[in-house]
Structure 1
Amino acid sequence: MKKMIALTMGLSMSLSAQAHMLWLERGPNAQTYAFFGEYSEQLKETQEGALKSFNQAKVVQAKKIFSPQLQQDHLVYATQDQADVKLSHELIYGESLLSYYAKAGRQHLKTESALDIVPAQRNSNTFTVLYQDKPAADLEVTVFSPQYWLKKYTTNSQGQITIATPWKGQYMLEVAKELDQAGTFNQQAYKKQYFVTTLSFVH
């Protein structure tokens, strides 16, 4: 019975982690904040929970690397201007390798991760989703409005979507992809790989 409870708890943690997203927000002082949880519900994991798994994650801005300052429900990075910021981190939950990638800004036009969201041009509302540098057709992209409402889009044959931004404020895009691909990470075996990528920008 105890083994069954432990297995159930482990599976629950794995599914919860896969449902979560990692996202970045830019502050008024040009700093960057990283959160992990459920964006639409503004559920943010804390240092007593899953957030601590990201405490070594660094962000990159204009080729400069920044380490985090740890806060209770987020990480703070001393980024310095409005150039795009990116963060990537991988971890294992259960039998899955979870690969998280988060960006803030829509100025950079080159793909930089296995699963990426790239604006068609600077500050564009048209984005291309790429997997391994190739346009990813028929993938679902969730877009969150400044009011945390969400709308789902599906990429076309060129991997593109064009979103509506009727309100002022922060928008968040999320795309995910699961692969039945086994391997090892940090000497730990996994049976599946799950990618979650987000991009945030202020309109």
Structure 2
Amino acid sequence: MKRLILAALMLGVAGSAQAHEVWVERDGNGAVRIYLGEPGDVLPEGGDPEFKNLKAPKLLGGTAAQVRKAGYIETSAPAGDVRVWDDNVFAPWDSEGKKEGVVYYARAGRSDTSAKLPFEIVPASANANRFTVIRDGKPVAGAKVVVVTPDKWSKTITTDAGGGLEIPVNEKGRYILAATVKDDAKATLPGGAVDAVHRITTITFVAG
């Protein structure tokens, strides 16, 4: 069921890109861990089979070395929220005679209320359970956001007219939120020219 919900969120993303997301985990101000996989499922030992495609995610404002671990990439960053993006995970694929591609955005932490990525889920206030989906500086009304709870239960919530949504936080642990948009416009990605781009964004936070 969880896999079906995530696949529905990403409807139209074909091949190995389907149902996969990039997300970031961080405990306090410790090491940064960057994953590629299906956050609604338990991570397989050694990582998701597609993890090999996550080669060099870009850490916003950071230049620390990245170390490849079993199932994730580890790096370091200054204290505070962490943001990552990657436009070169999966090669463009054919869809009904056109080329499509995917760009991933990911964030860990909910202390900063500003959006610094082109597509981002931001807290309404520091450490709040209310969030806003922002695209190019503007809230996205009607966006479908998948919420994965610490026990891996998934729920889909639609943003209101102001792009906002309230997350029910009923247990301790790490929450993952994910949203997607599709740009039906020509663009050039590292893998080549495409006719449409799927943009997928996640945010994780730990509720105490």
In which range does the TM-score fall when normalised by the shorter chain?
0.7 to 0.9
Aligned equivalents of 2:204 and 2:191: distance in 1? 33
Uncovered stretches (5+) of structure 2, i.e. residues with no partner: 1-12, 94-98
* Distance in 1 separating the partners of 2:191 and 2:28: 41
Residue of structure 2 equivalent to 1:170: 174
Give distance in 1, aligned partners of 2:47 and 2:92: 17
The answer to whether structure 1 residue 56 and structure 2 residue 60 are counterparts is: no
CA distance 1:19–1:125, shift in 2 (3 Å): same
Confirm whether residue 84 of structure 1 aligns to residue 88 of structure 2: no
Name 1:6's counterpart in structure 2: none
From the two aligned structures, give the one with the greater helix fraction. 1
- Rounded Cα–Cα distance in structure 2 between residues aligned with 1:44 and 1:55: 19
Rg larger in structure:
1
Q: Residue by residue, what CA displacement relative to the aligned partner does 1:106-138 show, whole Å, maximum 9, x if unpaired?
A: 011111222211111100111110112111000
Structure 1: any 5+ residue segments left out of the alignment?
Answer: 1-12
Please, what is the CA RMSD of the aligned residues? Answer: 2.4
- The range that moved more, 90-99 or 142-151, is 90-99
Q: 1:113 to 1:79 in 2, by over 3 A?
A: closer
Query: Counterpart of 1:93 in structure 2: which amino acid?
Result: P
Code of the aligned partner of 1:201: F
Match of 1:99 among 95, 99, 103: 103
Shift in Å, 1:32 = 1.1
Q: What number of residue pairs does the alignment pair up?
A: 189
Normalised by the length of structure 1, the TM-score is 0.83
AA at the equivalent of 1:31: A
Please show how residues 16-27 of structure 1 align to structure 2 within 5 Å: 16-27=16-27
| Paired position in structure 2 for 1:72 | 70
Which aligned runs of 4 or more in structure 1 are off by greater than 6 angstroms? 45-48
Given residue 167 of structure 1, which amino acid in structure 2 is its aligned partner? Answer: E
1-structure distance, mates of 2:131, 2:159: 9
Give the aligned residue type for 1:176: T
Question: TM-score normalised to the size of structure 2?
Answer: 0.82
Q: Given residue 196 of structure 1, which amino acid in structure 2 is its aligned partner?
A: I
